[in-house]
Structure 1
């Protein structure tokens, strides 16, 4: 539990942390802290235009970022039937969601995780965190604390100790409006 408190403190201080997800380790930060997001993009060597995924403990945590009034009841039902779980949905954003999260898009990718440690992390932090694989762009994502430590340990103040959910593929990414699959799960 000491490590859990350390990870929460790092998030609250605007730091970038790593944590296990359903398939690989992710790196994340406070999505409302622009400096933290810029630090994450710098660590990952990831272009801002690509946008980021938000991972949450429950649907309510996503409501400040998504505009689900643009979805039909059927679309909402389909999304909620896949959560919690390893499906990421690209959804319309509220007008106040900053471009440092959405990149070049007017949508944002979001997921309600079924990983118990990440659910606890988001609950204790009180909101979603950003989620992108724990690796340098172009490298293999870390699947263990040791692999993350090797690639990114020098620039992360805290790595949440735990196991991934055992899935082999990163989350599937689908469009909430059209249902199109952007990345197979």
Structure 2
């Protein structure tokens, strides 16, 4: 019997969608290519929408989950920061999505994001802390900064100095790959365990 492909929903904003690069160069596509090279059959469903905030994302979340994913990569928050959406709303929206994933027992990789806009000491501290707090509360796999090693490096960014170029998306994918691989292995082990 042929083992079926693991379905991974990548849900987020332009950083997930791959704004400014060709579709095969988005982070989810780079991850899928790397996993396929390892002989790990995966199908990524890219539900990244450029400009999306947690407000918009929450409204479309249930529809995105209709693809019945085995795993989810959740990456949001950059546009909340850029648009100065109140922290309590960002936290509530992310908490709602994570709670849904936990309730449905869908293993999740939750990515934080660095501050892109200085909105004062109180906001800045709260924004930087909320991702880790939610990850701990929901006991999900956590990657603290989706743009780690890419933000602030002009050679890895497009002209806007915000969005990764091909080299940048490839670097993000390389950093995420060990976490995603471990999640897939655990998922496959759990699926094969006797009831």
Taking structure 1 as the reference length, the TM-score comes to 0.28
Q: Which has the higher strand share?
A: 1
Taking structure 2 as the reference length, the TM-score comes to 0.27
Where relative contact order (Cα < 8 A, 6+ residues apart) is larger, the structure is 1
Larger radius of gyration: 2
Q: Which has the higher helix share?
A: 2
